[in-house]
Structure 1
Amino acid sequence: MASMSPLERVQHYVNQYDPTIKAMLFEEKLQTSEEAAQALGVDIGQIAKSILFRSSGRYGLFVAAGDVRIHAKRVKQCLEGGQPKMASPEEVIEVTGFQVGAVCPFALRQEVPVFVDSSLERFPVVYTAAGIAESLLPVTFQALVAMTGAQVVDMQTAE
C-alpha cells in the first residue's frame, strides 16, 4: 500500500465497500469547500471537509458540512482532553497521509477516531476529498459513516 498514490489508496479502500463509487478528477486544485462546490455546482454544505484536531496528544478527525463551523467545545467533548487545536500541516500528513485540503476521511495512515457531522445527513450525496486536491469522492451519508466507522455528532451545538 505504501507505493500507492494517495488517490489510489483512497480508491483501493473504497473498492472494498462499494466498487461503484469512483473518485472524480478535476483540472484544477479544489483547495476550499467553496471551490469544490463551485466546480460541482452544488450547495457548499454538500462538501464534507475533514479537519484533524489534536488534544492532549490524541488526534481526532472531524468531518463536517462545508457550511458548518466545527464547535471547539464539541471537539473537546469528543476528544476528552485539554484545549483542542487544529493539527499542523506536518501532523496532518503524518497522521492521515494526505495534504491539508485533500484529506480523505478514510484510508488514513494512522487509526484515529472519526467524528461525522450529523448535518451532512440532509443531502442525498456528499463529496469528500479523495486524497489529492484535484479530486472529490461522491458518497451517501450512510456510506461515509460506514467507511469511516465514525461516531455521528452534531458539530454545531455543544450542550
Structure 2
Amino acid sequence: MSLERARQHLERFGLGDAIVVTERSSATVDLAAEALGVAPERIAKTLSFRAGEPDRAVLVVMAGDARVDNGAFRQAFGLKARMLAGDEVEQLTGHAPGGVCPFGNPESATVYLDTSLRRFESVFPACGSASSAIELTCDVLHEVTGGAPWVTVSRLPG
C-alpha cells in the first residue's frame, strides 16, 4: 500500500514507471546499495524525527554516508534530534520502517533535503517499501518533494 501511494505521487511527475522493485531487501543503506549496484553514499536515506508538535514528524533525506549533526539539527529546527520510535514511524510518515521515503507522505510529515545529497549527479531514495527505490537527480528530487527546503543537518565521514 505504501509503495502504491509513493507510485501514485511519482506518477503526477511522469515517474511512476521509474520505480525499481528489487528481489532483495533494500531496507538499509548497505542492502539498498548492494541491491541496486551503487555506492552506499548515493542511497538517499529518509530519517524520521519527532517534530516540535505531537503527532508530527520531520523527515530528512540525506546521503547514505552522512550522519546527523545534532548541533546543526538543533540550529535548523530548534529541536533535539530524536528519532521516531518504531511503532510511530508508519503512523506519522505513512511508511513502514525500511521504506520511509519523501513521497506520498501524510500532512503529519514534513520533508527536508540535506545538502549532503548535492555531491551526486543522482541519488536513490526508497519508494515506500523495503525493496523499492528510484534514481533521481537532486533537482528532480527537490521538484517531486514539492520544493522541500534544503538544510544542512549532517556531517560526512572523514
The TM-score range, normalised by the shorter chain, is: 0.7 to 0.9
CA contact (8 A) 1:65 1:119 kept: yes
Write the distance in 2 (CA, Å) between the matches of 1:29 and 1:37: 10
Q: Which residue of 1 aligns with 2:110?
A: 113
Q: Cα gap change, 1:43/1:84 in structure 2, threshold over 3 Å: closer, same or farther?
A: same
Pairs aligned (count): 152
* One-letter amino acid of the counterpart of residue 37, structure 2: G
CA contact (8 A) 2:57 2:93 kept: no
Write the distance in 1 (CA, Å) between the matches of 2:143 and 2:72: 22
The alpha-carbon deviation at position 74 of structure 1 amounts to: 2.1
Write the distance in 1 (CA, Å) between the matches of 2:21 and 2:51: 34
Q: Cα gap change, 1:8/1:64 in structure 2, threshold over 3 Å: closer, same or farther?
A: same
The alpha-carbon deviation at position 113 of structure 1 amounts to: 2.6
1:56-97 CA deviation, whole Å, 9 max, x = no partner?
A: 33521111100000111222223223x231011222101111
| 1:43-82 matches, cutoff 5 A | 43-57=39-53, 58-81=56-79
Structure 2: any 5+ residue segments left out of the alignment? none
1:144 matched to 2:141? The reply is yes
Helix, strand or coil for the counterpart of 2:154? coil
Helix, strand or coil for the counterpart of 1:113? strand
Q: Which residue of 1 aligns with 2:94?
A: 97
**TM-score, structure 1 normalization:** 0.87
Q: Which residue of 2 aligns with 1:42?
A: 38
Equivalent position to 2:82, from 82, 85, 100: 85
Helix, strand or coil for the counterpart of 2:23? coil
Q: Which residue of 1 aligns with 2:20?
A: 24
Write the distance in 2 (CA, Å) between the matches of 1:19 and 1:155: 28
* One-letter amino acid of the counterpart of residue 140, structure 1: T
1:6 matched to 2:2? The reply is yes
The alpha-carbon deviation at position 20 of structure 1 amounts to: 6.4
**TM-score, structure 2 normalization:** 0.87
CA contact (8 A) 2:103 2:128 kept: no
Write the distance in 2 (CA, Å) between the matches of 1:70 and 1:84: 8
State the Cα RMSD in Å.
1.7
The alpha-carbon deviation at position 55 of structure 1 amounts to: 4.2
* One-letter amino acid of the counterpart of residue 66, structure 2: V
Write the distance in 2 (CA, Å) between the matches of 1:107 and 1:147: 10
Write the distance in 2 (CA, Å) between the matches of 1:103 and 1:130: 7
The alpha-carbon deviation at position 6 of structure 1 amounts to: 1.1
